[in-house]
Amino acid sequence: RVLKEHDRHGALARFSIISVNYTLMTFAWSILAATELIIMAASPEIDVHGIVMRVIIAVAVTGGSFAAIFALDFFADNSTGTTHKVIVKIILAKAILIGFSWEHCFQVALETMGANFNEYAALVTLLLSIMLCIVVFPAYLWYIMPKVSELREAREAEFGAED
């Protein structure tokens, strides 16, 4: 009986985490789509699916998100409890939004470069994607992951373990 009670709470906690992450992703996609529509309406002369439009969208999203994160971080530093957790989740959603916008930019760039090779376009795009991973993944492991772990440990030491 105790085990079943524990499983139910564990399942409820997992469902809660999945729901929050789903909501964050939906928020990020919605903001990205709204930004795309606004920029496309303001600049109808630029090719909607071209690299120039994707770079404009990525820069706009990054700039707007940076300003929002800066303001939200100020509020997060001056809040506690549930309010602090919610603000941190919104900041995470903004980070996901920035990632999505630049991912679109890279995807269009890879497709554009691959398109120059006619019948081998898909193969060239695949090879370029693999080369990008070969360059980026080690940098991620060597520089980003250690910094994330360091910051996570510092946060846990300051605030205690969360989520």
Asked if 77 contacts 88 with a C-beta cutoff of 8 angstroms, the reply is: no
CA–CA gap between residue 38 and residue 5 (Å, rounded) = 49
User: What integer pLDDT is reported at residue 146 of this predicted model?
Assistant: 92
Q: How far is CA 17 from CA 3, 5, 12, 20, 130, in A?
A: 21, 19, 9, 5, 32
Q: Looking at per-residue confidence, does 5 or 27 come out higher?
A: 27
pLDDT in tens, 53-99: 889 889 999 999 999 999 999 998 888 888 888 888 899 899 989 99
**Across 130-143, average pLDDT:** 90
Q: Note if the pTM is more than 0.75.
A: no
29-49 average pLDDT score: 86
Q: Is the model's pLDDT at 5 over the cut of 80? A: no
Q: For residue 48, which of 108, 137, 93 has the smallest C-alpha distance?
A: 108
Tokens of 56: 């404009």
**Cα distance between residue 76 and residue 155, in whole Å:** 13
Tell me if 74 sits within 8 A of 84, measured CB to CB. no
Instruction: Tell whether the torsion through CA atoms of 22, 28, 29 and 34 is positive or negative.
Output: positive
